[in-house]
Chains A and B, each alone.
Chain A
Amino acid sequence: MRLSGGLIDRGQTLKFRWNDTWLKGHAGDTLASALVANDVKLVGRSFKYHRPRGIFSAGAEEPNALVQLRKGAAQEPNTRATVAELYEGLTATSQNHRGSLAWDLMSANDLLSPFLSAGFYYKTFMWPRAFWEKIYEPVIRASAGLGSLSGKADPDLYDHGYLHCDLLVIGAGPAGLTAARTAAQSGLRVIIADEDFLPGGRLNSETYEVDGQDGPGWAAATASELQGMDNVRLMTRTTVYGSFDSGVYGALERMTDHLADSGSKPRQVLWRIYAKRALLAAGATERSIAFGNNDRPGLMLSGAVRTYANRFAASPGQRVAVFTNNDDGWRTAQDLTAKGVTIAALIDTRADAPDSDDFRVYKGRAVADTKGRRGLKSITLENGTQVECDALAIAGGWSPNVHLTCHHRGRPVWREDIAAFVPGTDLPPGMSVAGAANGAMTLAAALKSGHEAARTIASDLGHAARGTLPQASDEQFAITPFWHVKSSKARAWVDLQNDVTTKDIKQSHTEGFRAVEHLKRYTTLGMATDQGKTSNVLGLAIMAEASGKSIPETGTTIFRPPYTPVPIGALAGRARGKDFRPFRLTPSHKWAKENGADFVETGMWLRAQWFKRPGEKGWRDSVDREVEMTRSGVGICDVTTLGKIDIQGRDAAEFLNRIYANPFAKVPVGKVRYGLMLREDGVCYDDGTTARLSENHFVMTTTTANAVTVFRNMEFARQCLWPDLDVHLISTTDGWAQFAVAGPKSRALLQKVVDIDLSNEAFPFMACGECKAFGTPARLFRISFSGELAYEIAVPARYGDSMIRALMQAGEEFDAVPYGTEALGVMRIEKGHAAGNELTGQTTAHQLGMGKMVSLKKDAIGTVLSQRPEMIRDDDLRLVGFKPVDKGAKLDAGAHFLTKGDPEDMAHDQGWMTSVAYSPELGHSIGLGYLKRGADRMGEVVRAYDPVRGKDTAVEVCSAHHIDPEGERQRG
């Protein structure tokens, strides 16, 4: 029913669709207030019993009125109608029912409720065993859950942002607004955030005056004053959802949720706020009282009734009854009366409650039961008196919103005088609490605590405290705890959403689930989307009663982030789709793209895996050609992604000697050496080549995969282990473009490019030097991964694109071919070089056949532990080569080796195939792999057993060096 007044804009009428009906509301309405104004009572179904439910609150604590908002890919499940702002054309549907909302087939569960008590599912569905998987569980699953995802990609954008301030004020109610103003006037940089779209908090729901102004007017004026200050950022529609370490707060700002269409703007922004201090002024949440059938549509928290009446000019009923255990219920009756709504009765559990001329008061009485399946019709008091009414306001007392104070696992403490938990002393560092959140339950007290908290913080931060305390009359607040109506025969709900009743809590106690966490987990109390905001304290009180203990003795539950649920899309921000992680592009990327390259992700890098030419049918055609043309002529490959580390200093050689397992102290200037790196635990970690350009200058290459970690570990060794060595490191992976030029014609090609003599005598295998390439300073290394006569040439990265183009042009006369990672892989497997598939971080030098390289005459990382007995066993795995007995057979990496005649089980496992390739030169598939005692088994035929792909291939053990085992080509 729409009333007069309120803070809605009656000039703006908004049409919205609720299930199949078009309704009207106004700007300033929430979906819930518009539904209340339109007399919609039934809005949803409960989780377990599918009980009809109505709107219960006016805020984020809502347990009942969860709806699906919007349509199609933008469909949003479980949205609280109480916080969804109305916009033109809004579409909302009810959820969690089969058939219509009014005639939910699943409501049969309600009739079965005696058999569905707490934990019933742990005790049944076990027989017959096969039924669980096939029948019981699928049925349970199908009925679980609330709303639905669309199954389509979220169409909206989300942003992340970072803010810094002296003081973050959480909540823009009376305490928060006052605190923010006082702090700002004292010179602090202030951020004040509130989840509502209208600042003011309870001031907008009540009929108080502040400084002679009406409450909403004062709130608006104060907010506008704050907005005008340079050192204040007032953020509405912003929920501070979590407190993290070092004064970091997470906040979610809803940018376009109140609009029909977000356009191209981000829907929400996730802020990380770095605050020197924070003041929690998040107010309090009202709680219910448990009595028979206290869950019907038409039952609403008393404070919410006032919010709808005063702020939204809407009443949940025409004849409203009030059930209270404290003074707050009286305000509801008085405010409604003032608005012309009939108060059917006020039932106060306190025998000493006052009288009223305006309505009937039952003192020392309680409501025992209610009637009305899809909307309240009447209530019945303990003494049998029946009161006709279509709404019941319930005032069970207020629980301070201590949630954020618990995010560092702080424990709230019980305050008997207000029958509520207030923040304890173990708050997150830098946080203080003001207003109702701290147990200041009246307006004047809230204003004062906000003002004083801000002054204290200002002085703590070295500012002279300024500002004045707003004046308000101090209303009465007295409560006599009253938790549940014991005489009620019918079920009495505690957690509305999860359908936890007082009986469930008592049963939980009987069965021994008495610790608060047991209670929660066994009954699911407080585990629903509202995190038990209206039910936790009530449940605790009933458990306390059952165990004959006080509430603080029984315990408290702490709250975990987030304060209210946060969309996963917002937490992810822009990092999705192709933007999930950045791309690293090689210097020749543009050129490769122009030349038919097909790219592959290797870590963050995109590398050309092959260059397709017209007429080639599949990737194998391209790769075979690239290998053949390289081995017979010359091929060029971008190897920039290999990690490059520049090492300089008087002790550079000594440093490297301690980093590599093999000797490095005496590498001659102008030479490159292969290096094997161990972790401190003696396992092979990385390998690569390091060139000595001058006495005190080395250039190291690492594998692509380990570029970052090798550098990190070397910095560790340099700074922490041997700080006195004169050595400096720079990662130059991105600084230099590097190309492998391989094949018998590589010398001829490069001799056209560089200004130094490349004859075998002047620049032999493993030589290195600085030179000029096309007049550009360059570095040349005579190293070979392919096994051919080969070089790697490096130029500053900015010349990379020009370099590849120039190299290809210079190579035209030699029919030079670019090759990608696949051909690179084929050639290294042909040569038996270990790569990522072999260097798994689990292999020893011994297994790689490099055991003898590990020098025991020096102290290098990993040497000592590499000699542990299990790591140098003679019968250990050994890297060897494999070829199929049937030359037409294709090998597969991941197959396990079995000795012929052995059973197929783990006990007889002999190792596995690490890498395979088709060798165009040999004309058959080849492999590398680890085989137990592999070096001693040359020529043996073993099974490459691959059950997961249904294969079992006979393979012959051979040298890992499938091609040119003596290495003559690379020295030629």
Chain B
Amino acid sequence: MRYSAWQILKEGLTGNKGWKPVWREPEPKAEYDIVIIGGGGHGLSTAYYLAKEFGVTNVAVVEKGWLGSGNIGRNTTIIRSNYLLEGNQPFYEHSLKLWEGLEQDFNYNAMVSQRGILNLIHSDPQRDAFARRANAMRLSGADAELLDREGIAKMCPFLDFDNARFPIQGALWQPRGGTVRHDAVAWGYARGADERGVDILQNCEVTGIDIEGGRAVGVQTSRGSIRAKKIAMCVAGSSSRVAAMAGMRLPIESHVLQAFVSEGLKPVIPGVITFGAGHFYVSQSDKGGLVFGGDIDGYNTYAQRGNLPVVEDVCEGGMAIMPMIGRARLLRMWGGIMDMSMDGSPFITKTDTPGLYFNGGWCYGGFKATPASGFCYAHLLAKDEPHEVATAFRLDRFMRGAPIDEKGQGAQPNLH
């Protein structure tokens, strides 16, 4: 069913009785060309692009819960391509371009809202670093500007310019950054993949990966065993657990990133604002809630919840930079489990086991990567060659001595 204003009108006039299921609820087949483990944003977009761009439709996405139940459903919805390093920047810019055409591409309104992202600057060294970054973005064809205090004040008069502990000196501004309605991304990709014949198997937990003669040949699931020519892990947050089924140890730790939303408020914050010096970032959703967050809690966890010190730390950052939000109330807090990699950058890669592929290590930056991650993973799965913007995301980069370390923190995942 094609979605459009006409369809809404027609259904509205006939009692909204003609809507059809957005996806099927199929039974698993005995064998597929490709089994994607993980029905989150990246898994679903991989399936979508495999079917749409590479004509591979004999594909199953196996998901242990409901589709979109991973970090696609629990992030802070920011999209941007303000990366510094050569291995990252072109990939995220590719992703941003895919976001820009996404609604037309999959005929689903995921509310891509490019209201811009502002990274505040508080010191000369920070300005130097952001200038370097902005120029790297320009060199990759992305948009980037440096703003002075006046330029920021025009956009965000409510920031604390006068009494701040770390006075605002300027900002890096990417106008094409913004936010997206996160759940709709999963649903749109799922619908598009399902329409093209991909089987999305919900409540289907992978319990084992079958390796025969050194080659991955299938998965054991709570709904029976499924054979596959290729098996694609795509379970950021649980990567280590799933990879362990294939005997792999990964350069990844699992950490919780908390996120917060306030009660609904009339529009007050123009785009995304990040206050790196205070570990705080915020945007306002289409429904009016302030969506904000900060640092990860810092300890290994799979518990999908955090603790008070970080809650308070994030709110301190918020109050320090925009003291008008004091009387807004925090409505909900939640945690998502991050694949924190050893250099803060992801993997879209083959593994040492033929037939087994790995996508993960997205740290807290996976949402914005959803389209390009799926696109590039689909490319790798279909052609067995990495996509040109994702060549650096290999597991062997640490052995070669080529980490992609945006923050310069080294093999200390909780600092990325």
Judge A-B direct contact (beta carbons within 8 Å): yes
CB within 8 Å of B: which A135-170 residues: 137, 140-142, 144-154, 156, 158, 160
- The answer, yes or no, to whether A721 is at the interface (CB within 8 Å) is no
Assuming A248-B307, A905-B139, is B131 touching A137 (CB within 8 A)?
Answer: no
What 1/0 flags go to B53-74 for Cβ under 8 Å of A?
A: 0000000000001101100010
Known: A141-B267, A569-B326, A581-B166. 7 other contacts (CB 8 A): A76-B327, A122-B108, A248-B307, A272-B308, A409-B303, A511-B20, A566-B329
- Alpha-carbon distance A409/B125, docked complex (angstroms): 43
Interface size on B, as a range, is 35 or more
- Alpha-carbon distance A61/B320, docked complex (angstroms): 31
- Alpha-carbon distance A680/B398, docked complex (angstroms): 12
What 1/0 flags go to B315-329 for Cβ under 8 Å of A?
A: 111111001111111
A selection of 24 A-B contacts at a CB cut-off of 8 Å is: A114-B15, A121-B109, A123-B8, A125-B109, A140-B286, A141-B267, A144-B286, A144-B287, A149-B327, A149-B328, A151-B268, A244-B308, A503-B16, A507-B19, A510-B19, A511-B21, A515-B66, A529-B264, A572-B326, A601-B123, A905-B139, A905-B140, A906-B140, A946-B131
**Residue picked from B122, B136, B188, B329, most chain A C-beta under 10 Å:** B329
For the complex of A and B, 8 pairs with smallest distance between CB atoms = A894-B131, A841-B408, A154-B326, A868-B401, A145-B288, A569-B326, A565-B329, A123-B3
Closest chain B residue to A562, Cβ basis: B330
By a CB distance below 8 angstroms, the chain A residues around B3 are 122-124, 126
Stretch binding the partner chain, chosen from B141-149, B349-357, B374-382: B141-149
Closest chain A residue to B407, Cβ basis: A841
- The answer, yes or no, to whether B107 is at the interface (CB within 8 Å) is yes
Q: Are A905 and B326 in contact (CB under 8 A)?
A: no
- The answer, yes or no, to whether B391 is at the interface (CB within 8 Å) is no
- The answer, yes or no, to whether A762 is at the interface (CB within 8 Å) is no
- Alpha-carbon distance A683/B408, docked complex (angstroms): 9
What 1/0 flags go to B392-413 for Cβ under 8 Å of A?
A: 0000001111110101111100
What 1/0 flags go to A896-928 for Cβ under 8 Å of B?
A: 100000001110010011110000000000000
Assuming A114-B16, A906-B136, A948-B144, is B316 touching A576 (CB within 8 A)?
Answer: yes
- The answer, yes or no, to whether B266 is at the interface (CB within 8 Å) is yes
By a CB distance below 8 angstroms, the chain A residues around B5 are 124-125, 127
- Alpha-carbon distance A841/B110, docked complex (angstroms): 38
- The answer, yes or no, to whether A617 is at the interface (CB within 8 Å) is no
By a CB distance below 8 angstroms, the chain B residues around A583 are 165
Q: Are A906 and B139 in contact (CB under 8 A)?
A: yes
By a CB distance below 8 angstroms, the chain B residues around A145 are 264-267, 287-288
Closest approach, in angstroms, between the C-beta of B397 and any C-beta of chain A? 8
Assuming A517-B66, A575-B319, A683-B410, is B109 touching A123 (CB within 8 A)?
Answer: yes
CB within 8 Å of A: which B1-30 residues: 3-5, 7-9, 11-13, 15-16, 19-23, 25
Among the listed B135, B316, B410, which residue makes an inter-chain contact with A679, where contact means beta carbons less than 8 Å apart? Answer: B410
Closest approach, in angstroms, between the C-beta of A938 and any C-beta of chain B? 23
Assuming A114-B12, A145-B265, A577-B165, is B139 touching A896 (CB within 8 A)?
Answer: yes
- The answer, yes or no, to whether B130 is at the interface (CB within 8 Å) is yes
- The answer, yes or no, to whether A278 is at the interface (CB within 8 Å) is no
Closest chain A residue to B269, Cβ basis: A149
- The answer, yes or no, to whether B99 is at the interface (CB within 8 Å) is no
- The answer, yes or no, to whether A560 is at the interface (CB within 8 Å) is yes
- The answer, yes or no, to whether B237 is at the interface (CB within 8 Å) is no
Closest approach, in angstroms, between the C-beta of A671 and any C-beta of chain B? 30
Among the listed B86, B111, B131, B402, which residue makes an inter-chain contact with A906, where contact means beta carbons less than 8 Å apart? Answer: B86
By a CB distance below 8 angstroms, the chain A residues around B402 are 870
Closest chain A residue to B146, Cβ basis: A948
**Residue picked from B108, B184, B320, most chain A C-beta under 10 Å:** B320
Q: Are B278 and A580 in contact (CB under 8 A)?
A: yes
Q: Are A124 and B8 in contact (CB under 8 A)?
A: yes
Q: Are A156 and B326 in contact (CB under 8 A)?
A: yes
- The answer, yes or no, to whether A670 is at the interface (CB within 8 Å) is no
What 1/0 flags go to B175-215 for Cβ under 8 Å of A?
A: 00000010110011000000000000010000000000000
- The answer, yes or no, to whether B155 is at the interface (CB within 8 Å) is no
Closest approach, in angstroms, between the C-beta of A634 and any C-beta of chain B? 26
- Alpha-carbon distance A147/B73, docked complex (angstroms): 26
Q: Are B19 and A870 in contact (CB under 8 A)?
A: no
- The answer, yes or no, to whether B331 is at the interface (CB within 8 Å) is yes
Q: Are B19 and A577 in contact (CB under 8 A)?
A: no
Closest approach, in angstroms, between the C-beta of B343 and any C-beta of chain A? 9
By a CB distance below 8 angstroms, the chain B residues around A153 are 160, 323-324, 326
CB within 8 Å of B: which A667-715 residues: 679-683, 685
Assuming A77-B265, A868-B399, A869-B400, is B165 touching A580 (CB within 8 A)?
Answer: yes
Closest approach, in angstroms, between the C-beta of A642 and any C-beta of chain B? 16
Q: Are B405 and A896 in contact (CB under 8 A)?
A: no
Assuming A150-B324, A577-B165, A894-B132, is B90 touching A906 (CB within 8 A)?
Answer: yes
Assuming A893-B132, A948-B145, is B264 touching A129 (CB within 8 A)?
Answer: no
What 1/0 flags go to B16-55 for Cβ under 8 Å of A?
A: 1001111101000000000000000000000000000000
Q: Are B264 and A146 in contact (CB under 8 A)?
A: yes
Assuming A114-B16, A141-B267, A146-B264, is B128 touching A512 (CB within 8 A)?
Answer: no
What 1/0 flags go to A848-878 for Cβ under 8 Å of B?
A: 0000000000000000010011111000000
- Alpha-carbon distance A517/B72, docked complex (angstroms): 13
**Residue picked from B69, B125, B130, B158, most chain A C-beta under 10 Å:** B125
By a CB distance below 8 angstroms, the chain A residues around B262 are 565, 568
What 1/0 flags go to A384-424 for Cβ under 8 Å of B?
A: 00000000000000000000000111000000000000000
Among the listed A124, A137, A507, which residue makes an inter-chain contact with B113, where contact means beta carbons less than 8 Å apart? Answer: A137
- The answer, yes or no, to whether A776 is at the interface (CB within 8 Å) is no
- The answer, yes or no, to whether A245 is at the interface (CB within 8 Å) is yes
- Alpha-carbon distance A848/B26, docked complex (angstroms): 59
Q: Are A248 and B308 in contact (CB under 8 A)?
A: yes
**Residue picked from A272, A529, A583, A892, most chain B C-beta under 10 Å:** A529
By a CB distance below 8 angstroms, the chain B residues around A679 are 410-411
- The answer, yes or no, to whether B340 is at the interface (CB within 8 Å) is no
Q: Are A126 and B109 in contact (CB under 8 A)?
A: yes
By a CB distance below 8 angstroms, the chain A residues around B250 are none
By a CB distance below 8 angstroms, the chain A residues around B130 are 894
- The answer, yes or no, to whether A531 is at the interface (CB within 8 Å) is yes
- Alpha-carbon distance A571/B146, docked complex (angstroms): 32
Closest approach, in angstroms, between the C-beta of A196 and any C-beta of chain B? 18
Closest chain A residue to B181, Cβ basis: A122
By a CB distance below 8 angstroms, the chain B residues around A616 are none
Q: Are A521 and B183 in contact (CB under 8 A)?
A: yes
Assuming A151-B158, A893-B131, is B405 touching A842 (CB within 8 A)?
Answer: yes
- Alpha-carbon distance A4/B208, docked complex (angstroms): 70
- Alpha-carbon distance A579/B166, docked complex (angstroms): 10
Assuming A147-B266, A245-B307, is B140 touching A580 (CB within 8 A)?
Answer: no
By a CB distance below 8 angstroms, the chain B residues around A948 are 131, 134-135, 138, 144-146
- Alpha-carbon distance A578/B308, docked complex (angstroms): 23
What 1/0 flags go to A108-126 for Cβ under 8 Å of B?
A: 0000001101001111111
Assuming A573-B316, A600-B123, is B410 touching A681 (CB within 8 A)?
Answer: yes
By a CB distance below 8 angstroms, the chain A residues around B65 are 515
Among the listed A78, A132, A272, which residue makes an inter-chain contact with B263, where contact means beta carbons less than 8 Å apart? Answer: A78
